[in-house]
Structure 1
Amino acid sequence: MSRYRVASVLVATMMVALSTPALASASLVWKPCKDVAAGWEPADDQRTECAMVTVPVDYAKPDGREIDIAVSRQKATDQARRRGVVLLNPGGPGQSGIHQPRWIADSRAAGIGADHDLIGFDPRGVGYSADIACPALPGDDAEPPASLPDKEKARFAFDRDATVNQRCIAADPEFVRNLTTENVARDMDRIREALGEARIGFYGVSWGTALGAAYRSAFDSRVDRMLLDSVMSPTLDVGAMDDAMIAAGEITVREFAGWIARYDAVYHFGGRQPVVLEGLLRLRDELTEHPRTVNGETIDGETVTGYLAGPRRDWANAAKTLAALRDGGLPATKPTSGQGRGFGWDTPPTGYNTFQQTAILCNASEGPRDFETIWQRRLDRIREYPAVASPGIWNGRCAGWTLPVQPWKFTPGTSALQLVGHTYEPVTPIGWALAMRDRIGGTLLTIEDDHHGSLSSLPCASKAVEFFSTGETSDGSCAGAPIPSPPGH
């Protein structure tokens, strides 16, 4: 499926009201989300309210074209202790955030909502908020002929994606040019104004950490308390993203092989890590050279690779599957996702927009965009990290991107900032959290897991609740979920 379709990826003083909070709040017309938003979960008990906030497309032209940003709210459950609001973003970019209040309220971090209104929103270009009309066309999903050499297959995909990128840019150049992390941060400040709040709390995950860094860089005095979980790098280069993620994945593969070796009586790959690793890579090579078709499904080297650098919580299942592949069996079927596009309350959104993700990243990425350089980086990456042997997923994302680069320029602030990094995580490697701390400040809490954005699902979420209630940051570590053992062990 084309990457360009929409697919079904919380600072130290008491909150103070604006001088005219009643007037500011009056700009929002709140209604139960399930009454106004198509496709809203019917079981929602009307606690979640929705409204639209109007913002400029281009903040350099404040009197120009305007768009609507969809916002949701769950009021603090203990109104006597209410101290303000916390805006939420789950990451992406391209990810819907309008359901985030409900998800936080159902998580171990639900205590944040006792003394804060939880505020979700769909960033521009996503879900119920304003989007562009760039429908998929025949050929957007085209795969290169199997007979082509690897380089020409990569060139085919690069040219195909460049065509889609350029068509979508041409559909609304002004809108696409203004799909930036900084403009979403400015939209957040318009939401703050509409809520009638002098300061806001913010809880961001993944790309939401870059969004938080952008907001704090521009509006530090308007930040109450900010928590950023699974932190992005403070500089953006989509090729360098691949390098860091694959380097972390390479370490994971080797640790996974060591874990399998502990359970040789179960998986029979060998009792030593080097032997297991050699066997896994040999299995991948064999299936690359001689793919199998089992029950109509192709089993090849990529099938093996898909299980090698998976999360620790899936290691038992992955090892079982790899042993089955070795013995001629079939892996479990992977889930599929839906697709569609939303504009306003009347269209049920899917919760994700991959072109918005492309635009947000490519409008800021400082890396090369020509095919030959990207191809060479791909070859270097595969050679340097042979266990993962991945060409990367981001490096060619900006093919044909003609809009000027607007690099991230994050700066330090004085508002209370809690960073959360994950020791073994490959999606946003721990080094990024260290680099972000060096760039913008803050205190780093480390979670001993590899689960992207897992804080709200762990007992350690109590630290987030405490942070938003008291402003106290944490610089220690928390245990993550344990690695499941094989059945019977």
Structure 2
Amino acid sequence: MSITRFAVPLLTAAALLPAVPAVAAADGLSWQLCATVAKGWDPGDHRTECALVPVPLDYADPGGPKIDIAVSRIRATGPRTGAILMNPGGPGQSGLTMPGSIAGSHAGGLGVHHDLVGFDPRGVGYSADLPCPTEFPEPGITDKEKAREAAERAAAANRECVEAHPAFVRNLTTPTIARDLDRIRVALGEDKIGYYGVSWGTALGAQYRSLFDDHVGEMLLDSVMPPDLNVTAMDDGQATAGENTFHDFAAWIARYDAVYRFGTTEPAVAKALLGLRDEHGATVNDMLANPRREWAGLAKQLAAIRDGGTPVVGKPTRAGLGWDGEPYAFNHFQQTALLCNESPSPRDFETVWQHRLDRMKRLPVAGGYGFYEQLCVGWPLAARPWSFENGTSPLQLAGHLYEPVTPIGWALAMRQRIGGALMTIEDDVHGSLSSLPCADAVVTFFDTSRTTSASCAGAPVPAP
């Protein structure tokens, strides 16, 4: 039976019900090749299978309306010992293609003894993607009244979506998605599951382990979120890490003064780059605290701008809807809802703006980058903060020493809260563990439950 017609616009609670009978059965799921049922899927992918798992819209009303969670699977290539569920983060990010990404990475050995299972969290991609137009406030706005106007437009759009789908939006929380994860476990017929989470997916893993520790086999969390969600603190932590990256970048450029001619010391280069920023504004500022792998290209662009050239600007991406959407979907509203439903941060523009000014004063390069706090201006629902607990199931954390997206301090704080062993990766690349040779330790962990506290070398910084 085709499942391409499951996705319908999300208009009312009734519209959340599937257009055709659900495919989950008591003896398992009805799997079909994703390439045959999901629009936009790679037609050459003959490994990844897809199915739908029905879950309650509201777990407080388990007999009420249902929604379908889209699940993908790549079967184990050798003697099977279980399944590993995966989430790439966001929040708001589709996870259906993660099994294929992991299978083709240095962590591909996970697929020898385990089925690799991905899913789209509720409100994303093929899992009842919310059709809410999103006003996304730009982080680089420096004029207060323009920033206020943008925040008010975003708040109005958010309120409209909340009013149109109150039950759905109210249930966009990490505990709810953790319960969806457990419904997937049951549908797979597994008593215990492995879990591999990246970025926000680490918070989802911590929440699942807090609620369902007895059903966890092994859990790996890479690029770890803090144990307490507060978007104000997130902006502060990311901006501080970004400011440190700027000074590291300036020191790297100084080592190659014969190439870039900005100066031979870090202070001299930093002064020259800030002077260039004063002339060209956000165009230059947005190049000053980027990942190490981009440094050579960015330094070349900065030198070209200094000498009268023009920078290269990337193009934005778009998200999709339902099975008729895109396999790499991202839903900004779902991200906003998850963050703001759970962060006890300010909802008024004046406080958020003052926080931004204070941050920019402390951190002149990266202080203006933060945008998570802006997302919650005018959010109409009360916050329900995270509550994570320690457990007994095997837990491996991986933190990145120089990363600005999820700073290493967050991993240390999460380990303090929920336990586990911390592998330290010597790079600044978000969620890079699967791309490094030390991903062998990941395979060993899921095969044997043996954790490690070793350091792992990241990819070297490219030369000019």
Deviation at 1:400, TM superposition (A): 1.5
Deviation at 1:332, TM superposition (A): 2.0
Aligned to 2:394: 416
Deviation at 1:130, TM superposition (A): 1.3
Aligned to 1:342: 321
Aligned to 1:38: 39
1:231 equivalent in alignment to 2:232:
no
Q: How does 1:350-361 map to 2 (within 5 A)?
A: 350-361=328-339
Distance across 2 between alignment mates of 1:366 and 1:38: 38
Provide Cα deviations, 1:440-484, integer angstroms capped at 9, x if missing partner. 000000000000000000101111011001111010100000001
Letter in 2 for 1:28: L
Q: Structure 2: any 5+ residue segments left out of the alignment?
A: 1-23
Deviation at 1:415, TM superposition (A): 0.4
Deviation at 1:333, TM superposition (A): 3.1
Aligned to 1:462: 440
Aligned to 1:445: 423
SS in 2 for 1:117: strand
Distance across 2 between alignment mates of 1:209 and 1:116: 20
Letter in 1 for 2:90: G
CA contact (8 A) 2:178 2:208 kept: yes
Deviation at 1:386, TM superposition (A): 1.3
Distance across 1 between alignment mates of 2:331 and 2:133: 12
Letter in 1 for 2:388: F
Percent of aligned pairs with the same residue?
Answer: 61
Distance across 1 between alignment mates of 2:229 and 2:67: 27
Distance across 2 between alignment mates of 1:126 and 1:456: 24
Letter in 1 for 2:242: G
Distance across 2 between alignment mates of 1:220 and 1:475: 22
Assess, with a 3 A threshold, how the Cα gap between structure 1 residues 403 and 142 changes in structure 2: closer, same or farther.
Answer: closer
Distance across 2 between alignment mates of 1:48 and 1:118: 9
Aligned to 1:317: 297
SS in 2 for 1:414: coil
Provide Cα deviations, 1:420-439, integer angstroms capped at 9, x if missing partner. 00000000000000000000
Name which of structure 1's ranges 177-186 and 324-333 shifts more when overlaid on structure 2: 324-333
Letter in 2 for 1:58: D
Assess, with a 3 A threshold, how the Cα gap between structure 1 residues 340 and 90 changes in structure 2: closer, same or farther.
Answer: closer
Runs of 4+ in 1 over 6 A off after TM superposition: none
CA contact (8 A) 2:403 2:429 kept: yes
Deviation at 1:340, TM superposition (A): 4.4
Assess, with a 3 A threshold, how the Cα gap between structure 1 residues 188 and 480 changes in structure 2: closer, same or farther.
Answer: same
Aligned to 2:373: 395
Assess, with a 3 A threshold, how the Cα gap between structure 1 residues 154 and 262 changes in structure 2: closer, same or farther.
Answer: same
Q: Please, what TM-score do these two structures have when normalized by structure 1?
A: 0.87
Assess, with a 3 A threshold, how the Cα gap between structure 1 residues 263 and 471 changes in structure 2: closer, same or farther.
Answer: same
Aligned to 1:248: 241
Deviation at 1:349, TM superposition (A): 5.1
CA contact (8 A) 1:379 1:391 kept: no
SS in 2 for 1:308: coil
1:116 to 114, 117, 133: 114
1:74 equivalent in alignment to 2:74:
yes
CA contact (8 A) 2:50 2:73 kept: yes
Deviation at 1:37, TM superposition (A): 1.4
SS in 2 for 1:357: helix
CA contact (8 A) 1:370 1:399 kept: yes
CA contact (8 A) 2:390 2:418 kept: yes
1:436 equivalent in alignment to 2:395:
no
Distance across 2 between alignment mates of 1:33 and 1:142: 35
* CA root-mean-square deviation: 1.7
Aligned to 2:7: none
Assess, with a 3 A threshold, how the Cα gap between structure 1 residues 141 and 86 changes in structure 2: closer, same or farther.
Answer: closer
